[in-house]
Amino acid sequence: MIIDLSELRKKKAPLHVEVDFSEEQLKLRSPLASLASKAHSELRVTLSGERLTVDGRVAADLDVTCCRCAKSFSQSVVKEFSVQYWPDPKADKEGEEQELSYDELDIGFYREDKIDLSAVVTEQILLEIPMKPVCRESCRGLCDQCGADLNSETCECIKTGVDPRLAVLEKIKNRMVN
């Protein structure tokens, strides 16, 4: 959903948008999560000079893959946010780097007087997905030798010693303990 900022300037009033986004519209491409149903968003877009503020709320139900046992589980995301966008600083040459100050690191940029609200919503959903999602804290995961789900079965694998590549770390650990 692309908003033309020139129209917003003419209206001189904030734009209120309430929209449901499908996974295709959000282009949610995460190997760990997908939308279980449409994501609902309520957004307020305000333009002050050239600076754009998007205040909003997003609610989504996700199907997430556990990083320990590889099973899918449901996770709900409800997030309120406020993000600022400035005009993209023009570089003199293509590919030239632009230096940002520390205060500017949490600011997004827009180009050609347009902003894609679906990209804003996608970003907020992705920020809520943990880097290593776990179905439950007590998840035991998969056996590293046979791949058995240790939450529902026990495997007969004999646990061998330490991986030879990690033997040096075991020696350090033993020295610290003794």
Number of domains in the chain: 1
Q: How far apart are CA 75 and CA 129, in angstroms?
A: 9
Assigned domain for 110 exists: yes
Please tell me the predicted confidence (pLDDT) of residue 99. 66
Assigned domain for 173 exists: no
Assigned domain for 174 exists: no
Assigned domain for 109 exists: yes
Please tell me the predicted confidence (pLDDT) of residue 41. 94
Q: Which pTM value belongs to this model? A: 0.74
pLDDT tens series, the chain, 178 aa: 787 787 878 888 888 989 999 888 888 777 888 888 999 999 999 888 888 889 999 999 999 999 999 999 999 999 999 988 888 776 545 566 666 666 656 678 787 888 888 888 988 998 898 889 999 999 999 988 888 899 999 888 887 777 788 888 888 988 887 7
Tens of pLDDT, residues 7-20: 878 888 888 989 99
Assigned domain for 94 exists: yes
Assigned domain for 36 exists: yes
Q: What beta strand segments (E) does the chain contain?
A: 2-4, 15-21, 33-35, 39-48, 51-65, 72-87, 108-110, 114-116
Assigned domain for 140 exists: no
Please tell me the predicted confidence (pLDDT) of residue 177. 79
Please tell me the predicted confidence (pLDDT) of residue 95. 60
Assigned domain for 81 exists: yes
Please tell me the predicted confidence (pLDDT) of residue 55. 93
Sign of the CA dihedral with 10 first, then 11, 16, and 20 last: negative
Please tell me the predicted confidence (pLDDT) of residue 20. 92
Residue 17 belongs to domain spanning: 2-128
Please tell me the predicted confidence (pLDDT) of residue 101. 63
